[in-house]
């Protein structure tokens, strides 16, 4: 029997109804981040793309230094450089900015993934991980010391659990939000798992570049989020089979 599946993920509760019907495709809808926008999966024909950069305008601030004062045999004897704001000295591109469409109502399928967030030499790798709702994350410990994974989630289930060397914790994220992850053993360690309500997002590379593909033609709001510099939102129009370019510029906050 072909079924019409409808998921509505709304702040803190998950209601699932399954009805039988004559639909050709499963029709899955999610409520988007706090804005009440319901996302419906459809087949995208002649989609366009969005590409661009996120850059910093102004003198590049010197990176914060993280003092390593525990487990130096594993974590290293040198202090570490914070990844809270990573700006390329030449291109001025900002790394690890999450760029996403915030008000798109329908589009390509949400492909839930099992992503990995490693703890290696007492740093989280990657520092920013973006996943769609319904995804899981393997939280790994590649070190030979105990780490403690502490999630500062509000909508998703929060956790605060130790993981021994070589161990793994797997957690699922069903609600869109920005979840800070810290380690209670090594207070300099932090990262973010950014859970998005639709599949139209990307994380900038070391030159601040991003690309989002297979977007239905239309007008949208596109948002950049950076942990220190905050959010920026602009309007963008996407035409069928064309690339729309948007460049975000942050200045000193
Ligand atoms: Cu740790």
pLDDT band at 17 (very low <50, low <70, confident <90, very high): very low
pLDDT in tens, 121-141: 999 999 999 999 999 999 999
CA–centroid distance, residue 54 to ligand 1 (Å) = 30
In the predicted model, is pLDDT for residue 19 greater than 90? Answer: no
CA–centroid distance, residue 204 to ligand 1 (Å) = 26
Encode the chain in three state secondary structure. Answer: CCEEEEEEEECCEEEEEEEECCCCCCCCEEECCCCCCEEEECCCCCCEEEEEEEEEECCCCCCCEECCCCCHHHHCCCCEECCCCCECCCCCEECCCEEEECCCCEECCCCCCEEEEEEECCEEECCEEEEECCEEEEEECCCCCCEEEEECCCCCCCCEEEECCCCEEEEEECCCEEEEEEECCCCCCEEEEEEECCCCEEECCCCCEEEEEEECCEEEEEEEEECCCEEEEEEEEECCCCEEEEEEEEECC
- The rounded distance, in Å, linking the Cα atoms of 193 and 177 is 8
CA–centroid distance, residue 224 to ligand 1 (Å) = 29
Map tokens 């909508």 to a residue: 155
pLDDT in tens, 74-109: 999 999 999 999 999 999 999 999 999 999 999 999
CA–centroid distance, residue 75 to ligand 1 (Å) = 9
pLDDT in tens, 27-38: 444 444 445 578
Q: What pLDDT is attached to residue 35?
A: 53
Task: Please compute Rg for the chain using Cα positions.
Answer: 20
CA–centroid distance, residue 138 to ligand 1 (Å) = 16
Q: What pLDDT is attached to residue 14?
A: 33
Averaged over 63-73, what is the pLDDT? 96
CA–centroid distance, residue 164 to ligand 1 (Å) = 10
Higher pLDDT, 4 or 227: 227
CA–centroid distance, residue 182 to ligand 1 (Å) = 8
CA–centroid distance, residue 163 to ligand 1 (Å) = 9
- The rounded distance, in Å, linking the Cα atoms of 65 and 85 is 12
Among residues 26, 1, 30, the alpha carbon closest in space to that of 13 is found at 30
- The rounded distance, in Å, linking the Cα atoms of 114 and 136 is 5
pLDDT band at 12 (very low <50, low <70, confident <90, very high): very low
CA–centroid distance, residue 53 to ligand 1 (Å) = 32
Domain definitions of the chain by residue range: 3-41, 48-251
Averaged over 102-120, what is the pLDDT? 97
Averaged over 166-183, what is the pLDDT? 97
In the predicted model, is pLDDT for residue 145 greater than 80? Answer: yes
CA–centroid distance, residue 95 to ligand 1 (Å) = 23
User: What is this structure's pTM?
Assistant: 0.87
CA–centroid distance, residue 183 to ligand 1 (Å) = 5
Averaged over 15-41, what is the pLDDT? 49
Is the CATH code 2.60.40.420 the one for domain 48-251? yes
């Amino acid at each position: 029997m072909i079924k019409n599946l409808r998921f509505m993920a709304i702040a803190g509760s998950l209601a699932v109804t399954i009805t039988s019907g004559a639909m050709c495709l499963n029709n899955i809808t999610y409520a988007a981040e706090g804005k009440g926008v319901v996302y419906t999966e459809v087949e995208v024909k002649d989609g366009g793309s969005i590409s661009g950069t996120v850059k910093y305008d102004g003198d590049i601030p010197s990176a914060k230094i993280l003092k390593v004062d525990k487990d130096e045999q594993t974590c290293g004897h040198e202090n570490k450089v914070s990844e809270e704001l990573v700006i390329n000295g030449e291109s001025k591109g900002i790394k690890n900015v999450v760029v996403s469409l915030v008000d798109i109502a329908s589009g390509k399928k949400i492909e839930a993934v099992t992503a990995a967030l490693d703890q290696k030499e007492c740093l989280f790798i990657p520092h920013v991980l973006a996943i769609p709702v319904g995804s899981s994350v393997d939280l790994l410990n590649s070190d030979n010391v105990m780490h403690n994974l502490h999630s500062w989630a509000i909508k998703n289930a929060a956790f605060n659990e130790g993981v021994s060397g070589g161990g793994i914790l797997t957690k699922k994220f069903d609600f869109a939000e920005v979840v800070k992850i810290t380690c209670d053993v090594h207070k300099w360690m932090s990262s973010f798992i950014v859970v998005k309500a639709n599949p139209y997002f990307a994380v900038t590379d070391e030159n601040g570049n991003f690309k989002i593909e297979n977007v239905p033609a239309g007008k949208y709001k596109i948002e950049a989020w950076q942990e220190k510099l905050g959010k920026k939102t602009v309007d963008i129009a996407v035409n069928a089979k064309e690339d729309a370019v948007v460049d975000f510029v942050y200045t000193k906050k």
